[in-house]
A and B are shown apart, each in its own frame.
Chain A
Amino acid sequence: MSEPTVPSGLSRRGELLLSVEDLQAYFDTDDGTVKAVDGVSFDIYRGEVFAVVGESGSGKSVTATTIMGLQPTIRIAGGSVHWKGRDLLAMSEEEHRRIRGGEIAMIFQDPLTALNPVHTVGRQIGEMARIHEGLNHKQAHERAIEMIELVGIPEPRKRADMYPHEFSGGMRQRAMIAMAITCKPDLLIADEPTTALDVTVQAQVLDVLLAIKDEIDSAIMLITHDLGVVAGLADRVMVMYAGRQAEIGTAAELFYQTRHPYTFGLLASLPRLDGGDDEELVPIDGSPPSLIHVPSGCAFHPRCRFAEVPGRCNEERPLLRTVTSDGHVTACHFAERLATVTVESIRTGRTEVGP
């Protein structure tokens, strides 16, 4: 791989940690091949929060679990995943296992089901240090207490000996975070970390996540369907649709210089705190496509209000191309036309675009 160019708009220029190149990850089922991830490329640098956004079934979770090697039934049809320059997909299971948890750690959506109900929280956190750092039982327990304290759970010594069901939802997710950061990983993959939580504790958990990131100097890959979560947190954002990339850019670029109709769709369906009461939320028409029979051309064209059908949109799959800056990339044939569109104009229905 050649020297990567660091996208503009990054607040800090960290070390390149993860580099995904044209990843194609398929499931072979009785009904056909599910193209869960279909040609996705992105890089993640130390110190940044990289958000992956999309609806259910857009391939964002599969991308993450493929990187983690947690998809035993998946078929890698093409592409590469490099971790600090080493090819993750070509690595032996044993090598991959050492990276898993140690260098790349994952936080799951529902901390109640993701934590083992029959072991104490302390033991589950300490187990991380036992496998990756070879600590003994007692040392691991001390480390667990330290971690629990770090994520802001009061009375860590007492809490370490409690079971997941004795924790509240927010506490559980903090425990999950404590577990993930035990070995100071370079990359934290957080898969919908706040979706299962009450709105009131979502912000707290996200704050903890951010503070921890700086504390251990890692990067975060934040997977979410909620652009609202992304807005305050992410440095860069990748929008996925039907297993493909729609748009990548800095958070500011995506929100204010949107160049993909699907991103517009997501923005228009997002409630805004500063909006008036009469402001209408515009859902995206239709439902996500089957990943077995992906629409021809641009996968989004059947739901796209800007699509030219018949025409390029349903005939030619749009390639990723750079738009407003080096790091702002989109997969839309008519990206330039979207320059005049605003979220407000979509909400009010005035969506005519210039030539």
Chain B
Amino acid sequence: MFSFLIRRLLLIIPTVFVALSFLFALFFVLPGDPATLIAGGANRTPDPGVIERVNERYGLNDPLGEQFLNYWKRTLQWDLGESFQNRRSVNEILGEKAVNSVRLGIWAILIEILIGISVGVLSAIRRYSIADKLTTVVTAVASAVPVFVLGFILQYALAVYPNKHDWPAWMRLRTQGLGPDTWTLFFIPTGETWRYLVLPAVALASVSTALATRMTRGSMLEVMRADYMRTARAKGLNERQVIVRHGLRNAMLPVVTLIGVDFGTVIGAAVLTETTFSWPGLGSEIASSVISRDLPVTLGLTLAVVLAYTVINLLVDVSYGWFDPRIRFGKGSKQ
């Protein structure tokens, strides 16, 4: 187990290094002079003096190799640079936006795990029932609806429509921003904040929840046919005990992997969801920094996202070892 962890960690370092160097190269080597962009954007012709000052300030006159080295030197010291646009420290921006994204993400993943797994299991146990068929249809549709379209559907159905038709105040949800932004225990909304949280959390959770449901259902159906389930029944366990004690954990194995791999999808969906709901998180910040070509912000925030993604996947691998003892001991079964 320990050597497995070490091996995983050693693989992460080159991966992250290459990924970020690639992004760096993308921005600084490909056409589109950063200084011109900073000084006024691609469509204007800025004063050459301005360009010179910008190049000086951001070290863009140095040879590329040196820029690259400097970039890594600063990055390793966790200095992410400052925004081209407003000279704010990227570390500061990261800290501020990450909090919002993490709060939203926690709720989305809670929804994914709670709904996805329970509906998937129930759907498998009650195979061929109306509820099971409905689940199949809903998950298929949900995986085909883009997050932003779902976002707008939710906004219309649960916020715009109720407001138009004067529904009671407690039923109305909000669609834009953080609201009062008050929280307890870091992630539990207090006061009116929940009205702002519900819709983006549901939208963000939708695709992953659909995936997790399908995966859990399929996995559970397979587990239900397993010999050890029959053994459990033959022992005299009742059906509930058979499923809870012997089925669930085995059925969770592929789902756990999915939730880890799927974290990339969650990040992608977060970019769209945060943009749709004007939720000031990492996703919307990355998207807008890309469009305004604020390279240090894009690079810095992307670095954070890549690291988070890698760490989460590492944690998933570790938890996989807990779920499946065959992995824990570093050897698969031969038969």
Contact = CB atoms under 8 A, between A and B. Distances in A.
Given A108-B230, A112-B333, A117 B326 contact: yes
Interface residues of A, number: 30
Interface stretch (B48-56, B231-239, B308-316): B231-239
Contacts of A119: 246
Interface of B: 226-228, 230-238, 241, 245-246, 249-250, 323-326, 329, 331, 333, 335
B325 A165 contact: yes
A85 B239 CA distance: 26
Interface in A86-107: 94, 97-102, 105-106
Nearest to A115: B228
Interface stretch (A124-132, A278-286, A311-319): A124-132
Q: Find the residue from B227, B231, B238 having the highest chain A CB count within 10 A.
A: B231
B231 A114 contact: yes
A70 interface: yes
Interface of A: 68, 70, 94, 97-102, 105-106, 108, 110, 112-120, 127-128, 131-132, 163, 165-166, 179
B238 A101 contact: no
Nearest 6 CB-CB pairs, A to B?
A101-B236, A113-B227, A116-B228, A101-B235, A100-B236, A165-B333
Contact of B238 (A70, A97, A132, A163): A97
A97 B226 CA distance: 20
Contact of A118 (B232, B324, B333): B324
Contact of A166 (B230, B233, B246, B329): B329
A132 B234 CA distance: 12
Contacts of B235: 100-101, 105, 127-128, 131, 179
11 contacts: A98-B236, A100-B236, A116-B231, A116-B246, A116-B250, A118-B250, A128-B235, A131-B235, A131-B237, A165-B325, A179-B235
Nearest to A132: B236
B105 to A, nearest CB: 29
Contacts of B227: 108, 110, 113-114
A114 B230 contact: yes
B335 A112 contact: yes
A101 B234 contact: yes
A276 to B, nearest CB: 36
A110 B230 CA distance: 12
Nearest to A96: B236
A94 B240 CA distance: 13
A135 B214 CA distance: 38
A124 B235 CA distance: 10
